[in-house]
Structure 1
Amino acid sequence: MTPLPLARKATGWFFQPVALGRVAAMRFLAGAFIWVDWWWYMPWILGHRHVPGELYQPLFIARVLPVFPVPNYWIVVGTLVVLLAAATPMMFGYRARLFGWIVAAAYFEWMIIAMSYGKVDHGKFAFLLLLFLLPTMPKAKWGDRTHLSEHVGWGFNLVQIGVVCTYFFAAWAKIRYGGWEWVNSATMTWAIIRRGTEFSTWLLDYPWLLRLSQWGMVGFELLSPVVMFVAAKRLKYGIVAFFYCFHLTVFLAVEISFLPHLVAMACFLPWERVRPRDLIRNLPRAPRLIREKLKARKRIPAPRRPAETAPEAEPAS
Structure 2
Amino acid sequence: MSVRSAVNGFFFEPVPLGRVAAMRFLAGLYVWIEWWAYMPFIFGHRFVPGELYQPLFIGRILPLPTPDYGLVTGTLVVMLAAATPMMFGYRPKLFGWILFAAYFEWMVIANSYGKVDHASFGFMTLLLVLCLMPSRATWGDREHLSERVGWGFKLVQIAVVCTYFLSAWAKFRYGGWEWANSGVFTWAIIRRGTVFSDWMLDFPGLLHFAQWGMIAFELLSPVVLLVYRWKKVQYAIVAFFYCFHVAVFAALGISFLPHLVAMACFLPLERVDPREIARKTKARFASRGSGPTAREPEPQVETGP
Q: Secondary structure at the match of 2:163?
A: helix
Tell me how many residue pairs correspond in the alignment.
283
Q: Secondary structure at the match of 1:136?
A: coil
Q: Which residue of 2 aligns with 1:239?
A: 237
Q: State the Cα distance separating 1:134 from its structure 2 match.
A: 0.2
Q: State the Cα distance separating 1:278 from its structure 2 match.
A: 1.9
Aligned mates of 1:280, 1:184 — CA distance in 2: 52
Aligned mates of 1:185, 1:6 — CA distance in 2: 43
Q: Which residue of 1 aligns with 2:41?
A: 44
Q: State the Cα distance separating 1:181 from its structure 2 match.
A: 1.6
Q: State the Cα distance separating 1:15 from its structure 2 match.
A: 0.6
Tell me the TM-score normalised to structure 1 length. Answer: 0.87
Aligned mates of 1:94, 1:34 — CA distance in 2: 17
Which residue identity does 2:240 align to in structure 1? Answer: F
Asked whether 1:21 is paired with 2:18, we answer: yes
Q: Which residue of 1 aligns with 2:299?
A: none
Residue among 194, 208, 213 paired with 2:210: 213
Residue among 254, 257, 276 paired with 1:256: 254
Q: Which residue of 2 aligns with 1:281?
A: 279
Q: State the Cα distance separating 1:281 from its structure 2 match.
A: 3.1
Q: Which residue of 1 aligns with 2:87?
A: 91
Q: Which residue of 1 aligns with 2:97?
A: 101
Structure 2: segments with no counterpart, 5+ residues: 288-305
Structure 1: segments with no counterpart, 5+ residues: 289-317
Aligned mates of 2:35, 2:222 — CA distance in 1: 31
Q: Secondary structure at the match of 2:118?
A: coil
Which residue identity does 1:268 align to in structure 2? Answer: F
Matches within 5 A, 1:56-71: 56-66=53-63, 68-71=64-67
Residue among 221, 224, 242 paired with 2:221: 224
Q: Secondary structure at the match of 2:222?
A: helix
Percent identical across equivalent pairs?
68
Q: State the Cα distance separating 1:280 from its structure 2 match.
A: 2.6
Say what the alpha-carbon RMSD is for the aligned residues: 1.4
Which residue identity does 1:265 align to in structure 2? Answer: M
Q: Which residue of 1 aligns with 2:266?
A: 268
Q: State the Cα distance separating 1:157 from its structure 2 match.
A: 0.2
Aligned mates of 1:109, 1:204 — CA distance in 2: 40
Instruction: Report which stretch shifted further, 16-25 or 205-214.
Output: 205-214
Q: Which residue of 2 aligns with 1:77?
A: 73
Tell me the TM-score normalised to structure 2 length. Answer: 0.91
Q: Which residue of 2 aligns with 1:167?
A: 164
Q: State the Cα distance separating 1:8 from its structure 2 match.
A: 1.7
Aligned mates of 1:255, 1:125 — CA distance in 2: 20
Aligned mates of 2:78, 2:213 — CA distance in 1: 42
Q: Which residue of 1 aligns with 2:140?
A: 143
Which residue identity does 2:214 align to in structure 1? Answer: M
After superposition, what is the alpha-carbon deviation per residue over 1:154-195, rounded to whole angstroms, capped at 9, x for unaligned?
Answer: 000000000000000001111111112211122111110110
